Structure 1
Amino acid sequence: MKTLTLTTAALALTAGMAFADAHSTVRLGTEGAYPPFNFINDAGEIDGFEADVGNELCARAELTCEWVTNEWDSIIPNLVSGNYDAIIAGMSITAERDEVIDFTQDYFPPTASVYVALSADADLTGVVAAQTSTIQAGYVAESGATLLEYATPEETVAAVRNGEADAVFADYDFLAAIVDASGGELTYAGEPVPLGGGVGMGIRESDAELRDAMDAAITSMKEDGTLNTLLVKWFGDDVTTY
């Protein structure tokens, strides 16, 4: 294990230095509106699980990084067009997205998506809210329910509260804190639905060196337990770890 860890660190350093030779700063694009994955804190800074992960990855790959926020529905086009160098924004790895961009390995394990409503017996074949351009929106569209799409995750929850939607469908790890804080107003409905192949960093297909540097750094975080520590910090003891 020690030999493997040293090899991984060397790979991360080599790939990171190669990319840094051609890029003075690596720009990390995130939404900043999807707690606890990523959000803007009271000081106006990017915060959350992915802020911790991204900063640690850059340190291990010896890259100078800066954070950029971008609305979710244009986050992939703006990566492709060069507005930033990587996406780290709670993005599930899917075959459809992988046709447009590359992904690192997952830094957040595959998990379930859930329905949340005002009642546990809500009509899940009625109107269901989901954030646009997500795997959850795609699932609802194919489920027979009426999909109501919103630009931000907060709007999907508000749609349930104000009666515009019968339920919201999103990542469990996003909705869990909202349900817990609702004082019984919101509850889970139906069964959890496994979707996606875990959450990874999105990288332009032309930036193989950056992808390799981040991939090696993720491996090293898994091997030494740092990633598991951050998972528990932000998602609690019940989170799936590596």
Structure 2
Amino acid sequence: MAGNWQGRWDMAMGQMAPKKERERVFDFPANYYYEQVVAVVHRDSKTTKLADLDGKTVGALANSAYNDYANHKLNPDWKGSTPITYQFKPGAVTSYGATTMAFDDLRLGDGVRLDAVIADKVVANTAISKGYPMKILNDPLYAAPAAIAILKGDNEFSEKIAAAVKGMKDDGSLSKLSIKWYGADYSTEK
């Protein structure tokens, strides 16, 4: 987590996966969001299932879990994770500095520069709603939790955050917020 905490903030909610390596520095009192990672193809693509992407050129954000998935190197080491099932084997993976750059290449046409992009479902749906000629294939490739992060050691604060998020899950308000802002419920793993 970039920045110098020293009294500047108490917690971070930046879609950080609660990975074991991060637990040396942070406590993760609660997961509040589950990122759904999807494969996106051009609207005119004949691709109908993930296996159709075998041997194809796939774009993904550089130095990201999406890129690791595309290269069959994703290690989901967050609490409660299960092994990843790879549903296709790209012939080539093109890395991008931003997901929108990959979408820009994909919208040039099916197979012109890319056959698919691996991305967050919310980001993909936003691009589609803005006119990008794309469609999402099938169900998510995987879901990754996003947790609230705090510096290690404040058990009382951690318990209060956990209780607040649990209360929001129990009364449905977290689900309602997700639907209001994202158009779907991303507060639980699906």
Paired AA for residue 170 in structure 2: E
* TM-aligned CA distance change 1:112 to 1:209, over 3 Å: same
Q: Where does 1:58-73 land on structure 2 (aligned, <5 Å)?
A: none
**Which of 146, 157, 174 is equivalent to 1:227?**
174
Runs of 5+ in structure 1 lacking a partner?
1-75
**CA-atom RMSD, angstroms?**
3.1
Quote the sequence identity (%).
22
**Which of 142, 150, 153 is equivalent to 1:194?**
142
Q: Per-residue deviation at 1:130?
A: 2.0
Show the counterpart of 2:31: 106
Paired AA for residue 158 in structure 1: D
Q: How many residues align?
A: 161
The answer to whether the Cα contact below 8 Å between 1:124 and 1:167 also exists between their aligned partners in 2 is no
Q: Per-residue deviation at 1:93?
A: 3.6
* Residues 1:139 and 2:69 are matched in the alignment: yes
SS in 2 for 1:90: strand
SS in 2 for 1:165: coil
- TM-score of the aligned structures, taking structure 2 as reference length: 0.65
SS in 2 for 1:239: coil
**Which of 113, 120, 125 is equivalent to 1:176?**
125
* TM-aligned CA distance change 1:107 to 1:168, over 3 Å: same
- TM-score of the aligned structures, taking structure 1 as reference length: 0.54
The answer to whether the Cα contact below 8 Å between 2:38 and 2:139 also exists between their aligned partners in 1 is yes
Show the counterpart of 2:14: 89
More helix by share: 1
Runs of 5+ in structure 2 lacking a partner?
73-85
Where relative contact order (Cα < 8 A, 6+ residues apart) is larger, the structure is 2
